[in-house]
Structure 1
Amino acid sequence: MNTARIARTETFEHTITGLLGKRADLFNEAERIRDRLAEIKNDIGAIDRTLGVLGYAGDLDAAMPRQKREVIFGRGELTRAIMGELRHAEGPVSSRDIAKEIVAMRGEDARDRKYISDLTKRVSKALRQMKAEGHVKSAVDAKGSVSWERRA
């Protein structure tokens, strides 16, 4: 009768090495998917421009299949993140700077310009609502840029 011996180690070296390898594989796959998604979005933009040049006057968004709404922030999560950033800021900050800090805090890709731009718009809208409620104040500089800070 052949008895199998179970190999056990005191450390988890093999497991850690395997998990680090798998993590690297998944990260690389996510990069490839993000790059492919950017290519697809560029292709759709090119097709839309070509349709316009060819005289198509219909509503392109209405012709699209309905997509599931992506929830990026839970209820109140963006407002709490904004207030956290303003609390730690050493002076007035722009909506874009707040958006970049939130992306970094969440561990997301800060190089995704479209995501940063979309998030900046959301942050700006949330800040305008927070200003109307009296939680923050804004100032416009000579260039027309708006900066934000908490009310004292």
Structure 2
Amino acid sequence: MKNCIFCQIQEGELPASVVYEDDRAMVILDLFPVREGHCLVIPKVHAPLVEELSGEMSSHLMDLARRTIKAQKRAGLPVKAHNLVINDGREANQHVPHVHLHVIPRRGGDTLATAFTWATRLLNIFGMAKRRKKLDRLAGLLAEHFPKS
């Protein structure tokens, strides 16, 4: 879809810090992360809602989330647990109408900070070049540790 941010990223029209990509989906770092290492698992087929995905694609996205979790731990991020989040529809706070699964590393004792960051994360638009460099370095590290299966 022409005006979908995730479709534009997949077409190479917009930048992203890519951790993993195959012919069906990609894993990128969130530009406005809730916690360090916050990734998005995105199908390459444009589907605004989960119900529009095939069962096979849904399974593939969950498998990529599992592999992302392994990569985050192998890369040495301070991870004790994860939030896996899909905001499915506008009324569920979905900002980009293209299915995407958030894989958010949690380290424990960070509930208040995570809630605050989640609520305010889209407000900080300053320092994008510096942020992109940091995310690209982290994407490279996670890619090195991303399991084949």
TM-score interval, normalised by the smaller of the two chains: under 0.3
Structure 1 or 2, whichever has the larger Rg, is 1
More strand by share: 2
When the two structures are superposed, what TM-score results if normalisation uses the length of structure 1? 0.27
- The structure, 1 or 2, with the larger RCO (C-alpha pairs under 8 Å, 6+ apart) is 2
When the two structures are superposed, what TM-score results if normalisation uses the length of structure 2? 0.28
